[in-house]
């Protein structure tokens, strides 16, 4: 009886029931199709070298300098020390014999190829069942600066404050591996460190923490993203600076904000597009940059190039920044993606080669995610700024580990 008025109304109007049915169908479609994304999860799929795109064309001459730098680091580690990530790469002792063998190889491309094919097993890295992921590029920034604060050098690059505490949460809980926070201790409690806005408003002023003063807050902002830079000093000398610490606040990609607000079309987004917008909108630039609360502190480097998170000098086009939560540093990876310069409409080219996991970054999140280091100068800036491509990734593991790792395959 209670349903009679409802059906009576619908028979009169002929539209009510149809409308409700359409709404129910729409809700059902939304419920089953619009789901929260699955949590990241690294799975492996065993592969053959013949299945790696471009493997037969690889030039090991460009790769071996990066490999040997990582090997020199690994050879100094305790044999029992884990390689990192989720543990799939074993310990330093699993790699040291192969590193010793690699360092003794002659500079012959075919010999080096056979070395890898005989001693390693490739596994494709997946995020759950997803084989492809995002690959971007970064470079060593160029800046102009002075040791003294004087016009136009008014933007400071700071040294790491002594009270800043960086915490690797993975040391306390296995499920927190790869996660880090930072802060300062007050009254026995670890409290958040000042964010970008607070620091730029003077939170660290008058403490003699300024490493160098540069002439552009935009250049300084991009240096925070890139992690390393070469400063051309007012007296004609050069100063290389590198990452020392971070304030613990999450990284925010301001490019996403420009897209969402309609300032830059998604298909035109690049590092160069962000810089152009900031330079053309000085009244809004500071506010936008301060949405990225993450702030980086620097140290002076006396090396021929920037130093990555593994503690070795990075090699242009062969060093890859990865998410340390999932992948270990110091291991070889095969990357298959595409590249194109940001400054022209040149055709996209394949980028298929061996890389070394030697760095990390706040925006590098997920198992199938990487950032290619392009080096220093205009070419590196152009190529890194234009790189935002889907790609696939394989890890090359010593044969002795392959059987154990095979048990984790998806």
List pLDDT tens digits, range 350-394: 999 999 999 998 889 999 999 999 999 999 999 998 899 999 999
d(C-alpha 131, C-alpha 406), whole Å: 17
Rounded to whole angstroms, the Cα distance separating 128 from 356 reads: 23
- The mean pLDDT of 148-156, rounded to a whole number, is 97
314 close to 67: Cβ distance less than 8 angstroms: no
- Sign, CA dihedral 362-368-374-380, equals negative
State yes or no: pLDDT of 257 exceeds 90: yes
Hey, how many other C-beta atoms are within 10 angstroms of the C-beta on 277? 17
Please tell me the predicted confidence (pLDDT) of residue 280: 97
More confident residue, 340 or 55: 55
Q: How many CB atoms lie within 10 A of CB 74?
A: 23
| Two structure tokens written together for 263 | 């300032």
Mean pLDDT of 194-223: 97
CA distances to 17, 77, 327, 389 from 307, rounded to whole Å, are 67, 18, 18, 25
In the predicted model, is pLDDT for residue 14 greater than 70? no
pLDDT at 12: 46
Q: What is the pLDDT of residues 123-138, one digit of tens each?
A: 999 999 999 999 999 9
Q: Are 68 and 103 in contact (CB under 8 A)?
A: yes
What pLDDT shows up at residue 36? Answer: 55
For the chain, give the longest Cα–Cα distance.
93
Residues 218-229 pLDDT 10s? 999 999 999 999
Q: Angle of helix 109-119 relative to helix 60-74, nearest 10 degrees?
A: 50
pLDDT confidence of residue 177: 74
Least confident of 25-39, 304-318, 395-409: 25-39
Taking the C-alpha atoms of residue 160 and residue 315, their distance in angstroms, rounded to an integer, is: 25
16-33 as b/e, with b when 16 or more CB fall inside 10 Å?
A: eeeeeeeeeeeeeeeeee
pLDDT surpasses 70 at 407: no
Predicted pLDDT of residue 214: 98
Sheet of 189-192, strand order:
165-168, 180-186, 189-192
* H or E, element range at 355: strand 349-359
Instruction: Please state, rounded to an integer, the average pLDDT across all residues of the chain.
Output: 90
What pLDDT score does 363 carry?
Answer: 85
DSSP 195-223: -HHHIIIIITTTSS-EEEEES-HHHHHHH
Residues 6+ apart with CB under 8 A from 315: 65, 66, 69, 305, 356, 358, 373
**Is 47:122 a contact under the CB 8 Å cutoff?**
yes
Most confident of 18-22, 295-299, 342-346: 295-299
As a whole number, mean pLDDT of residues 231-255 equals 95
**In 72-111, which ranges are E strands?**
none
SS3 246: strand
pTM exceeds cut of 0.95: no
Q: Is 125 exposed, middle or buried (0-12, 13-18, 19+ CB in 10 A)?
A: buried
The contacts of residue 25 (CB under 8 Å, 6+ apart) are none
pLDDT attached to residue 276: 96
Tokens of 133: 């992921």
Q: Which residues contact 7 (CB under 8 A, 6 or more apart)?
A: 17
Dihedral sign of CA atoms 327, 329, 333, 338 in order: positive
Helix, strand, coil shares, percent, the chain, to 5: 35, 30, 35
Label residue 73 exposed, middle or buried (CB < 10 Å: 0-12, 13-18, 19+): middle
Residue 3: band (very low, low, confident or very high) from pLDDT cuts 50, 70, 90:
very low
For 118, the token pair is 């005989």
Output the pLDDT for position 361.
Answer: 86
């Amino acid at each position: 009886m209670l349903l009679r008025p409802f059906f009576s109304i619908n028979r009169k109007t002929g539209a009510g029931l149809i409308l409700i049915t359409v709404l129910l169908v729409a809700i059902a479609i939304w419920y089953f199709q619009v789901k929260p994304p699955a949590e990241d999860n690294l799975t492996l799929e065993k592969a053959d070298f013949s299945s790696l795109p471009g493997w037969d064309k690889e030039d090991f001459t460009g790769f071996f300098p990066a490999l040997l730098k990582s090997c020199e680091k690994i050879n100094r580690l305790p044999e029992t020390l884990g390689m990192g990530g989720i543990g799939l790469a074993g310990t330093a002792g699993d790699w040291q014999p192969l590193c010793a063998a690699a360092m003794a190889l002659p500079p012959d491309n075919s010999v080096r190829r056979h070395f890898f094919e005989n001693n390693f097993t490739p596994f494709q890295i997946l995020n759950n069942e997803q084989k492809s992921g995002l690959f971007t590029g970064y470079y060593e920034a160029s800046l102009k600066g002075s040791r003294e604060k004087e016009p136009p050098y008014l933007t400071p690059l700071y040294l790491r404050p002594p009270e800043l505490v960086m915490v690797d949460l993975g040391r306390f809980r296995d499920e927190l591996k790869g996660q880090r926070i930072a802060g300062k201790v007050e009254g026995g409690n670890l409290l958040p460190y000042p964010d970008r806005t607070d620091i730029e408003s003077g939170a660290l002023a008058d403490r003699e923490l300024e490493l160098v003063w540069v002439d552009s807050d935009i250049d300084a902002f991009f240096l925070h993203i890139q992690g390393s830079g070469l400063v051309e000093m007012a007296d004609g000398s050069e100063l290389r600076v590198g990452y020392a610490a971070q304030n613990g606040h999450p990284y925010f990609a301001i490019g996403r904000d420009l897209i969402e607000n309609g300032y830059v079309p998604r298909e035109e987004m690049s590092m160069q597009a962000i810089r152009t917008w900031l330079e053309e909108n000085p009244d809004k630039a500071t506010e936008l940059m301060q949405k990225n609360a993450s702030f980086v502190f620097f140290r002076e480097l006396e090396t021929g190039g920037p130093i990555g998170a593994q503690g070795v000098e990075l090699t242009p086009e062969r060093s890859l920044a990865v998410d340390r939560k999932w992948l270990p540093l110091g291991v070889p990876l095969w990357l298959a993606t595409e590249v194109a310069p940001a400054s022209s409409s040149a055709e996209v080219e394949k980028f298929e080669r061996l890389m070394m996991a030697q760095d990390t970054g706040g925006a590098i999140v997920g198992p199938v995610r990487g950032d290619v280091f392009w080096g220093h100068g205009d070419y590196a800036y152009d190529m890194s700024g234009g790189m935002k491509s889907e790609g696939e990734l394989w890890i090359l593991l010593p044969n002795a580990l392959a059987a154990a790792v095979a048990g984790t395959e998806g």
